[in-house]
């Protein structure tokens, strides 16, 4: 695929956005280890010592929030999501590129909507210093709720990168793959 100045800029922007998503996804993935350690500690405390802590139980879902929401974009970047390719693979290249562009733009729109809708929800929680209603629970529940717009902001960045790549592909000339060797005519046969 030949590169034009526009497609080069789009690809460079996509790589920059990918780097942000990669770093945030890597950091968020480490919360998985923390979650396993906290859960193991809670089980150990409950069954070995017949005791427990409300704060430690709440910490489990405080760790699940960044793990889930911040890793959505990371998963999509690494194509770990479910994708149905039965029909897609049979479509012409330009149609596939158009579908990729439409899909990326749809996720951009969805991400923006969820960020806008969740922002007030997080702000209200911050203004009232919302904490756990349970005695001994964790304070600062707004941090947990802030993972919603943060996770969708990362998804927005990844979707913008996908949009840039899809647009660059549509702006580039279609390269025709070489014919299989069985269909090629030897040069000396002409």
Judged by average pLDDT, the poorest of 74-78, 146-150, 184-188 is 184-188
Three-point CA angle 143, 149, 154, nearest 5°:
115
The DSSP line for 86-141 is TTGGGS-HHHHHHHHHHHHHHHHHHHHHHHHHHHHHHHHHHHTT---SSTT--S-H
Query: How many residues belong to the chain?
Result: 190
Distance (Å, whole) CA 118 – CA 165:
28
| Tens digit of each residue's pLDDT (9 = 90 or more) over 53-96 | 888 888 888 888 888 888 888 888 877 666 667 787 788 888 88
Answer whether 94's CB lies under 8 Å from 175's CB. no
Rg (CA), the chain: 24
Give percent of the chain above pLDDT 90.
Answer: 24
Distance (Å, whole) CA 183 – CA 28:
50
Residue 20 burial (C-beta neighbours within 10 Å; 0-12, 13-18, 19+): middle
- Banded model confidence at residue 156, pLDDT cuts 50, 70, 90: very high
| Tens digit of each residue's pLDDT (9 = 90 or more) over 103-116 | 899 999 999 999 99
Q: Which of 105, 92, 94 is nearest to 169 (CA)?
A: 94
Distance (Å, whole) CA 152 – CA 40:
30
Q: Which of 116, 32, 24 is nearest to 73 (CA)?
A: 24
Judged by average pLDDT, the poorest of 18-27, 30-39, 145-154 is 18-27
Distance (Å, whole) CA 121 – CA 118:
5
């Amino acid at each position: 695929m030949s590169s034009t100045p526009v497609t080069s800029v789009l690809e460079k922007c996509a790589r920059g956005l990918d780097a942000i998503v990669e770093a945030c996804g890597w950091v968020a993935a480490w919360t998985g280890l923390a979650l396993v350690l906290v859960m193991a500690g809670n089980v150990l405390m409950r069954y070995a010592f017949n005791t427990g802590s409300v704060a430690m139980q709440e910490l489990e879902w405080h760790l699940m929030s960044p793990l889930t929401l911040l890793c959505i974009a990371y998963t999509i970047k690494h194509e770990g999501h479910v994708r149905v390719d039965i029909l897609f693979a049979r479509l012409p290249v330009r149609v596939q590129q158009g579908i990729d562009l439409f899909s990326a733009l749809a996720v951009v729109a969805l991400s923006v909507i969820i960020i806008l809708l969740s922002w007030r929800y997080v702000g209200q929680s911050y203004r009232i210093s919302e904490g756990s209603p349970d005695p001994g629970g964790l304070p600062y529940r707004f941090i947990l709720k802030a993972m919603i717009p943060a996770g969708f902001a990362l998804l927005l960045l990844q979707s913008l990168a996908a949009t840039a790549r899809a647009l660059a592909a549509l702006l580039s000339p279609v390269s025709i793959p070489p014919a299989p060797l069985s269909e090629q005519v030897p040069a000396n046969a002409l």
